[in-house]
Amino acid sequence: MSTLISIDARTGQAHGAPLPASTPSDIDASVCAASAASPLWARSDGAARGTLLRALAEALEADREPLVACADRETALGPVRLNGELDRTCFQLRRFAELAEQGLPYAQTDDPAVPGAPPVGHPAMLRQQLPLGPVAMFAASNFPFAFSVLGGDTASALAAGCPVVVKAHPGHPELSQRVFAQTQSVLARQGLPAGLIGMVQGADVAVGVALIRHPLIAAGAFTGSTRGGLALWAEANARPRPIPFYGELGAINPVVALPQALATRGAELATTLAGSITLGCGQFCTNPGTVVLIDGPESDAFVQQLVQALTPIAPHAMLTAGMRRAFEHGVVELVAAGAQPLLPSAAQNAAPGPQLLQVGGAQFVANPHLREEVFGPASLLVRCADLTEVCAVLQAIGGSLTTTLWGVDEDSEANRTLVRAATAIAGRVLFAGVPTGVAVSAGQHHGGPWPASTAPGTTSVGDAALARFLRPVCLQDAPGWLVAREGLPC
Ligand code: NAP
């Protein structure tokens, strides 16, 4: 296996000695320990799960300064963003603590017996939920706290009653080890098995593949690139016993900016959009990678405003040198596919400059290469002749985490058509603001039709994320002692 090493994202220099990558027997040991902890955790009550999740949040907060410093060195995301992300991660851990304490994982449907012949008559049916078992959790590079070792997948799986084995991301290996060490201290302090939260690390795909293939793994949760997600999804399905695989993948998040919105607020929207395109050096799964416009004077003015707003912005370094290369290659590919660059090239030593390109709607629909995510501070303007072409553009995108519609305030047939086209392809449709920023809340849906997610019925952010790790079971004519457990597995 290749060497795993912590790299300073700003300088490209190695930091510290190489870290040990997990061997096949390490991976087996982690999964076996998770499996051994599984029955105990499956029958834990909401108070126990809440206590663990709250203690994990407290541990992160107690070590905030060194953790943020380490994350900043490994990702270059900056202390403001990273402190905010740590807050969000703790909020998420506490939110799932609350949901477990409120009994969400133990919710039941009680369907008492109905006397008489079927189909009206039936026995007593008690539908409840069971934790799936050990979850393989694949961390993403661009959220070193919120989608990593103690991120949303780990929090929701633990709240559901499942142990977790994290496949740490090689982009922040030292931070992953530090956070993992904290989890082990918390588990020890609470007298819980160390195997309840395991971690494996490696610098090539072999570690993740071995993890998802392990026969004792019961589900996969993945946040990352479409290519990586699809490879692991295929592995999960090729197992002798296939398992659920919840892959939240990349997206191009179209923003449809209608002339009626641009006519009155064009300059303001251009500034907001430029900030969203370049936020975090564009390294967000919800980055607005496509902006759809209807030809006319309002759109022409908006393009000029967007060019002006983007030109002076100097994003920071990207997460890894590989991502920088992939970004620059992606822009070259867009140009090769016929997109016209609109900004002067402004690459700096450590950071890429923002990129804005444009194509026609028909061209965009005809060429799938124009619909590939370019991960970084880039956006592609798609210039359409009319509403019909806008809908064709959305349909060609097919699946996206978000779609934003600016200017559909009135109830009209045209606006209903657009809303139908947007909801058909996106997990979240915004009518104001920009798609970057994914609130952790009850109403959130972070997923969407393929290829945004491998499981479009599920979300990786928000309360409903917990349901991914539960399986319904119907207890028919159950004895009194089992009914009295009120959904707590025995
Ligand atoms: P990534 O390169 O796909 O890596 C994610 C994880 O998958 C890593 O642990 C990686 O391990 C593993 N992996 C990748 N390819 C694999 C393969 N072929 N077989 C087995 N394992 C594989 O993604 P990333 O660079 O961290 O994140 C950037 C991407 O994530 C962007 O496309 C972004 O849009 C997307 N993203 C999506 C969301 C969301 O919620 N939908 C959130 C954040 C980011 P190794 O590196 O060790 O191979």
Residue positions annotated with a catalytic role: 248, 285
What pLDDT is attached to residue 346? 57
If you average pLDDT over residues 80-97, what whole number do you get?
98
DSSP H or E segment with residue 277: helix 259-278
pLDDT tens, position by position, 179-209: 999 999 999 999 999 999 999 999 889 999 9
Which residues, at least 6 apart from 263, have a Cβ–Cβ distance to it below 8 Å? 298
Report the pLDDT averaged over residues 124-144.
97
* 344: confidence class by pLDDT, cuts 50, 70, 90: confident
- 243-265 burial: b if 16+ Cβ within 10 Å, else e: bbbbbbbbbbbbbbbbbbbbeee
**What is the per-residue pLDDT for 352?**
87
Distance 163 CA to ligand 1 centre (A): 21
Atom of ligand 1 at shortest range from CA of 207: 47
Pocket test for ligand 1, best of 169, 200, 374 (most atoms within 8 A of CB): 169
167 CA to centre of ligand 1 in angstroms? 11
Q: Give domain limits for the chain.
A: 3-249+453-483, 254-430
Sole residue written with tokens 């399905």: 237
Atom of ligand 1 nearest to the CA of 141: 26
Q: Is the pLDDT of residue 326 over 90?
A: yes
Percentage of residues in the chain with pLDDT exceeding 90? 95
Tokens read off for 274: 């430029």
Please tell me the residue having the least CA distance from ligand 1 atom 32.
Answer: 225
pLDDT at 351 over 80: no
What is the per-residue pLDDT for 204? 85
**Is residue 241 pLDDT above 80, yes or no?**
yes
**Ligand 1 nearest-atom number relative to CA 248:** 41
SS (H, E, C) 169-237: CCCCHHHHHHHHHHHHHHHHHCCCCHHHEEEECCCCCHHHHHHHHCCCCCEEEEECCHHHHHHHHHHHH
In this prediction, residue 333 carries a pLDDT of 96
CATH of 3-249+453-483, one of 3.30.360.10, 3.40.50.2300, 3.40.50.280, 3.40.605.10: 3.40.605.10
For 286-325, what is each residue's pLDDT tens digit?
Answer: 999 999 999 999 999 999 999 999 999 988 899 998 999 9
Confidence at residue 264, expressed as pLDDT on a 0 to 100 scale: 95
Judged against a pLDDT cut of 70, whether residue 347 lies above it is answered with: no
The CATH class for the domain spanning 254-430 reads alpha beta
Nearest CA owner, ligand 1 atom 4: 224
Residue pLDDT, tens place only, 394-437: 999 999 999 999 999 999 999 999 999 999 999 999 999 999 99
Instruction: Give the model's confidence band at 2: pLDDT under 50 very low, under 70 low, under 90 confident, else very high.
Output: low
pLDDT score at 1: 47
- Residue ID of nearest Cα to ligand 1 atom 25: 141
Confidence check: pLDDT of 92 > 80: yes
Pocket test for ligand 1, best of 223, 237, 374 (most atoms within 8 A of CB): 223
Residue with CA nearest ligand 1 atom 19: 205
| Average pLDDT value over all residues in the chain | 96
Query: What residues does ligand 1 touch, defined as CB less than 6 Å away?
Result: 138-143, 147, 167, 169-170, 202, 204-205, 208-209, 223-225, 228, 231-232, 248-250, 285, 373, 375, 401, 446, 460
